[in-house]
């Protein structure tokens, strides 16, 4: 049986009220300070950020849209890795996307047309990741602009493919004739870690960056059309029109490669397979700034949200849990073929250790059954339906299965979910939690509910076009035998998002109140075990990315002390159709109302809260604030954060995504 040790036994802060202020609000007795913002320079020679659209050289500055982050301790003298140091370390963080309007003096000059090379270079380089050194000093935390550890990884950074799909014909491009190399990573969303000191960054909404008008279908095989359609590679121009750029150096294909059309492409410009170079989990060694990131194809290709590991148990094969964030997509698990050897934890050839655990194993997808059990279905080529005889999509080999994991999961009967986002693992029990951020009626009609996605209603806060499950929920899963190797599991629903004043029979099923009502959970993380006596204090942190509740509050972060799977029992929800009529009684397994949960932080205007980690001692919390003021215009911003955090800036001050540090004024462990 699972024993959860909680010490102290309760959350130790007063809930923050919902609000729409243009600052980060934290509980009384806590402070939030800004650490690292869009455009902050990462070398001694890089000029300060003017923040007026004239800045360039984002390959040497913080990128935009700070997303997932993780803290890696450095030794006190900064010479290398020390997992235990809570005063000096590296932050590895994703830069998912752009508030493009603020990157240029008056926004993009030719949106939808032929894009200027200089603007495109800035936009491309503002994506990717930062690795940045941070340290606590007498005046609090600061990042080190001149640190030799600082690194930007961008969509242009050379990478290699590892695992079963390396060298596949489906990965070959004009850049890499042997399908073993590629360039860059994009739309990096959530993350994952390993036990050997590396970072996993996950490529989510990469498909939209490619230009591939529907006329391209005529130059493709039927199988290719099926595959490209399943992954949504069908934009006429690509998100920001980078393929339209005329490169000043004709041999530079870093713009052309965003054009994935097969028709008429010369051999030197044939990037029809470039979309297959994205959608992966990428391993990065933050302690080797010269290292080449490795795309781990064994973990499958999808709209990867994150890749959070199971507990690492000596002699047991470790697993990584992965959401594919789109409506009706699936939850996956990769189980390494190699049992964990704890002597690898401090090895210095970290990416080679990654080869050992991440290049060979089994990718599974989840089927959730009505009775609260479930099965991990292996995506292995050669066993029906994953063969060449599969009518919907004939698979050629294991590389084809991994590159088209969504099609394999369709074929094998996985359960479509309400947009699987982050996963997190309870450090006390190994139970896995999964955010299902929301879904709409088109993605899940009322007759399409199932026990794992049971709710269908019309939220008056969400607007009449958003009935379905606009507020989302959080599911949790316990492996059979509490083993990461298991192929069976038990699951239940931990909490449903809802406004506190909404109907308890069909919307506010978790009895949320003013201290904890939320919508659209996304970021999810268990606090680090930080108790000096070795006890584990499992605090679950929940972050929101919400369009359905923004008339009431900006996005937020909550803390919770969860129970265990099955502690609620069988329950029933009354589902409604768009007319508000009772359409269904649906039974599910779910937590009892009144789960211990409390709002810890509310962000500034039009932001999303995403990315959270702490120092090993739990006394410094790092939180990312993504896309404040995303609805504004270049010279008419809707948020002035972070300048607004401690001052009254001019109303034209442009907002910047940024990392904040949250500490308790008495120096104690955050949240306890």
Binding site for Ca ion (CB under 5 A): 437, 522, 545
- The residue at minimum Cβ distance from Ca ion is 545
Other CB atoms within a 10 A radius of the CB of residue 229 amount to 12
Nearer to ligand FEO by Cβ, of 305 and 359: the residue is 305
- Crossing angle for the helix pair 405-412 and 222-230, to the nearest 10 degrees: 90
Single out the residue of 100, 103, 120, 189 in contact with ligand FEO (rule: CB under 6 A).
189
Q: From ligand FEO, Ca ion, none, which one binds at residue 216 (CB under 5 to 8 Å depending on kind)?
A: none
Q: Which residues of 177-196 are buried (b: 16+ CB within 10 A; e: fewer)?
A: eebebbbbbbbbbbbbbbbb
Query: Binding to ligand FEO (CB under 6 A): which residues in 518-577?
Result: 522
3-state secondary structure 344-393: HCCCCCHHHHHHHHHCCEEEEEEEECCCCEEEEEECCCCCCCCCCCCCCC
Nearer to ligand FEO by Cβ, of 204 and 546: the residue is 204
Supply the minimum distance, in Å, between the C-beta of residue 547 and ligand FEO. Answer: 13
Supply the minimum distance, in Å, between the C-beta of residue 325 and ligand FEO. Answer: 4
- At residue 100's C-alpha, the angle toward residues 95 and 104, to 5°, is 120
Nearer to ligand FEO by Cβ, of 305 and 459: the residue is 305
- Token pair of 127 as six digits: 């994506």
Q: Is the Cα dihedral 617, 134, 98, 550 positive or negative?
A: positive
Nearer to ligand FEO by Cβ, of 305 and 485: the residue is 305
**Angstrom distance (rounded) from CA 573 to CA 567:** 18
Q: From Ca ion, ligand FEO, none, which one binds at residue 506 (CB under 5 to 8 Å depending on kind)?
A: none
579: phi then psi, degrees, rounded to nearest 5: -85, 0
- Token pair of 575 as six digits: 């589902």
Q: From Ca ion, ligand FEO, none, which one binds at residue 283 (CB under 5 to 8 Å depending on kind)?
A: none
Nearer to ligand FEO by Cβ, of 55 and 630: the residue is 630
Supply the minimum distance, in Å, between the C-beta of residue 115 and ligand FEO. Answer: 24
Asked whether 423 and 308 are in contact (CB, 8 A), the reply is yes
Supply the minimum distance, in Å, between the C-beta of residue 545 and Ca ion. Answer: 4
Supply the minimum distance, in Å, between the C-beta of residue 189 and ligand FEO. Answer: 3
Supply the minimum distance, in Å, between the C-beta of residue 233 and ligand FEO. Answer: 18
Nearer to Ca ion by Cβ, of 25 and 205: the residue is 205
Distances (CA, A) of 472 to 93, 112, 327, 432: 25, 34, 12, 17
Q: From ligand FEO, Ca ion, none, which one binds at residue 123 (CB under 5 to 8 Å depending on kind)?
A: none
- Residue 22 engages ligand FEO in binding (rule: CB under 6 A): no
**Angstrom distance (rounded) from CA 38 to CA 608:** 15
Nearer to ligand FEO by Cβ, of 96 and 119: the residue is 96
Q: From Ca ion, ligand FEO, none, which one binds at residue 204 (CB under 5 to 8 Å depending on kind)?
A: ligand FEO
Supply the minimum distance, in Å, between the C-beta of residue 391 and ligand FEO. Answer: 31
Supply the minimum distance, in Å, between the C-beta of residue 6 and ligand FEO. Answer: 30
Lay out the site mask for ligand FEO across 325-354 (x = CB under 6 A, - = otherwise): x-----------------------------
Supply the minimum distance, in Å, between the C-beta of residue 63 and Ca ion. Answer: 13
Asked whether 157 and 184 are in contact (CB, 8 A), the reply is yes
- Token pair of 567 as six digits: 């502690």
Side-chain-side CA neighbours of 32 within 13 Å: the count stands at: 23
Nearer to Ca ion by Cβ, of 388 and 463: the residue is 463
Nearer to ligand FEO by Cβ, of 285 and 325: the residue is 325
Supply the minimum distance, in Å, between the C-beta of residue 190 and ligand FEO. Answer: 7
Q: Is the Cα dihedral 584, 587, 588, 592 positive or negative?
A: positive
Nearer to Ca ion by Cβ, of 485 and 522: the residue is 522
- At residue 511's C-alpha, the angle toward residues 510 and 516, to 5°, is 90
Tell me, by CB under 6 A, how many residues bind ligand FEO: 7
Supply the minimum distance, in Å, between the C-beta of residue 97 and ligand FEO. Answer: 8
Single out the residue of 421, 459, 479, 492 in contact with ligand FEO (rule: CB under 6 A).
421
Q: From ligand FEO, Ca ion, none, which one binds at residue 458 (CB under 5 to 8 Å depending on kind)?
A: none
- Residue 204 engages ligand FEO in binding (rule: CB under 6 A): yes
Nearer to ligand FEO by Cβ, of 344 and 522: the residue is 522
Side-chain-side CA neighbours of 70 within 13 Å: the count stands at: 24
Distances (CA, A) of 419 to 178, 366, 628: 35, 14, 23
What region, left, alpha or beta, does residue 594 occupy, with left being phi > 0 and alpha being psi -120 to 50 degrees?
A: left
Residue in this structure with the two tokens 């590991």, named with its chain if needed = 309
Query: Binding to ligand FEO (CB under 6 A): which residues in 266-325?
Result: 305, 325
Single out the residue of 40, 64, 96, 606 in contact with ligand FEO (rule: CB under 6 A).
96
- Residue 203 engages ligand FEO in binding (rule: CB under 6 A): no
**Angstrom distance (rounded) from CA 12 to CA 148:** 39
Strand 620-626 relative to strand 308-309: parallel, antiparallel, unpaired? unpaired
Supply the minimum distance, in Å, between the C-beta of residue 522 and ligand FEO. Answer: 6
- Residue 418 engages ligand FEO in binding (rule: CB under 6 A): no
Nearer to ligand FEO by Cβ, of 189 and 195: the residue is 189
Asked whether 332 and 416 are in contact (CB, 8 A), the reply is no
51: phi then psi, degrees, rounded to nearest 5: 60, 40
- Judged by the rule CB under 6 A, the positions of this chain that interact with ligand FEO are 96, 189, 204, 305, 325, 421, 522
């Amino acid at each position: 049986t699972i024993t959860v040790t909680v010490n102290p036994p309760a959350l130790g802060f007063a809930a923050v009220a919902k609000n729409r202020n243009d600052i980060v609000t934290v509980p009384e007795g806590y402070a939030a300070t800004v650490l690292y913002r869009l455009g902050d320079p990462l070398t001694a020679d890089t000029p300060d950020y003017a923040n007026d659209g004239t800045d360039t050289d984002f390959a040497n500055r913080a990128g935009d849209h700070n997303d997932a982050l993780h803290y890696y301790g450095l030794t006190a003298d900064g010479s290398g890795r020390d997992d235990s140091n809570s005063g000096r370390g590296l932050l590895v963080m994703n830069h998912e996307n752009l508030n493009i309007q603020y990157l240029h003096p008056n926004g993009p000059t030719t949106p939808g047309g032929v894009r200027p090379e200089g603007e495109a270079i800035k936009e491309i380089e503002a994506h990717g990741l930062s690795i940045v050194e941070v340290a606590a000093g007498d005046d609090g935390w600061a990042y080190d602009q001149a640190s030799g550890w600082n690194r930007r990884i961008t969509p242009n950074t050379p990478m290699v493919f590892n695992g079963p799909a390396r060298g596949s014909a489906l990965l070959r491009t004009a850049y890499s004739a042997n399908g073993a190399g590629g360039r860059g990573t994009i739309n990096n969303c959530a993350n994952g870690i390993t036990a050997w000191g590396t970072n996993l960054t996950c490529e989510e909404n990469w498909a939209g960056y490619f230009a591939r008008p529907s006329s391209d279908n005529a130059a493709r095989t039927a199988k290719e059309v099926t595959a490209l359609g399943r992954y949504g590679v069908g934009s006429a121009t690509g998100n920001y029109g980078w393929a339209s750029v005329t490169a000043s150096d004709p041999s530079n294909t870093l713009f052309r490669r965003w054009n994935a059309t097969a028709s008429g492409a010369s051999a030197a410009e044939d990037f029809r397979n470039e979309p297959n170079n994205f959608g992966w989990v990428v391993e990065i060694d933050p302690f080797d700034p010269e290292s080449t990131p490795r795309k781990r194809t064994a973990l499958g290709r999808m709209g990867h949200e994150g890749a959070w590991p199971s507990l690492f148990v000596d002699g047991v094969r470790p697993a990584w849990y992965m959401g594919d964030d789109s409506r009706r997509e699936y939850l996956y698990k990769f189980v390494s073929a190699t049992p964990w050897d704890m002597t690898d934890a401090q090895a210095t050839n970290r990416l080679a250790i990654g080869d050992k655990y991440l290049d060979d194993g089994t990718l599974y997808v989840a089927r959730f059954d009505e009775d609260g059990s479930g099965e991990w279905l292996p995506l292995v080529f050669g066993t029906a339906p994953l063969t060449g005889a599969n009518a919907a999509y004939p698979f050629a080999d294991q590389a084809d299965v991994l590159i088209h994991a969504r099609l394999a999961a369709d074929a094998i009967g996985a359960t479509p979910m309400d947009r699987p986002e982050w996963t997190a693992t309870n450090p006390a029990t190994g139970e896995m939690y999964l955010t299902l951020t929301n879904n709409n009626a088109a993605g899940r009609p009322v007759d399409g509910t199932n026990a794992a996605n049971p709710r269908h209603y019309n939220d008056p806060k969400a607007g009449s076009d958003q009935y379905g499950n606009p507020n989302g929920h959080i599911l949790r899963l316990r492996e059979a035998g509490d083993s990461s190797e298991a192929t069976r599991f038990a699951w239940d629903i931990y909490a449903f998002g809802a406004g506190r004043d909404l109907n308890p029979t069909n919307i506010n099923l978790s009895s949320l109140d003013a201290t904890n009502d939320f919508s659209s959970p996304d970021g999810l993380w268990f606090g680090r075990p930080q108790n000096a006596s070795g006890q584990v204090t499992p605090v679950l942190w929940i972050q929101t990315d919400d369009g359905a509740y923004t008339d009431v509050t900006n996005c937020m972060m909550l803390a919770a002390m969860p129970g265990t799977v099955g502690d609620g029992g069988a329950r029933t929800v009354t589902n409604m159709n768009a007319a508000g009529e009772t359409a269904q009684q649906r039974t599910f397994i779910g937590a009892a109302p009144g789960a211990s949960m409390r709002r810890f932080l509310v962000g500034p205007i039009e932001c999303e809260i995403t990315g959270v980690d702490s120092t090993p001692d739990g006394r410094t919390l790092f939180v990312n604030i993504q896309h404040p003021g995303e609805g504004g215009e270049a010279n008419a911003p809707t948020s002035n954060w972070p300048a607004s955090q401690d001052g009254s800036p001019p109303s034209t001050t442009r907002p910047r995504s940024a990392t904040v540090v949250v500490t308790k004024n008495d120096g104690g462990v955050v949240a306890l």
